Amino acid sequence: MDRFCPICNKKLTVQLMIQYNDYFCNAAKDHHFSERVVGEERKMVKFRVSSGKQRLYCKFDYGNGYSEIWEGAENANRVRVEQVFEPNYSSVEGLVSKLRTYLVFS
């Protein structure tokens, strides 16, 4: 079954594995989106959105019920939120400001 990027609506590229499937979008420079799916169930989401030179990352672990948000490099300090929030993926600017809010108030 095809899956689509919630940010840009393009079809996600799939990497089929035995225990799970990874889907990802790297169609545009301003975002990257990937999700890990087992059966039809979304287990993990990771996305990156960019605004100018700022790069913000977010990871949702649905199985363990937490989110992580961080800025800049992959190994930067991460803000951990003990829940998975469902963001509005419809605009990159909206995602950027949502993630900035989490970084500022933590």
Footprint on this chain of Zn ion (rule: CB under 5 A): 5, 7-8, 25
Q: Which is nearer to Zn ion, 79 or 98 (CB)?
A: 98
In this chain, which residue has its C-beta nearest to Zn ion?
A: 5
* Residue placing its CB nearer to Zn ion in the complex, 15 or 64: 15
Q: Which amino acid is at 101?
A: T
- Which is closer to Zn ion, CB of 29 or CB of 104? 29
Contact partners, residue 34, CB within 8 Å, separation at least 6: 22, 23, 24, 25, 45, 46, 47
Q: How far is the CB of 32 from Zn ion (least distance, A)?
A: 8
Q: How far is the CB of 42 from Zn ion (least distance, A)?
A: 16
Burial 3-22 (b: 16+ CB within 10 A, else e): bebbbeeeebeeeeeeeebb
Check residue 10 and report its DSSP letter.
P
Please give the backbone phi and psi of residue 103, each rounded to the nearest 5 degrees, phi first: -70, -35
As measured in angstroms, the least distance from the Cβ of 43 to Zn ion is 19
- Shortest distance, position 23 Cβ to Zn ion, whole Å: 11
Residue placing its CB nearer to Zn ion in the complex, 25 or 44: 25
CB count in 10 Å sphere of residue 75: 7
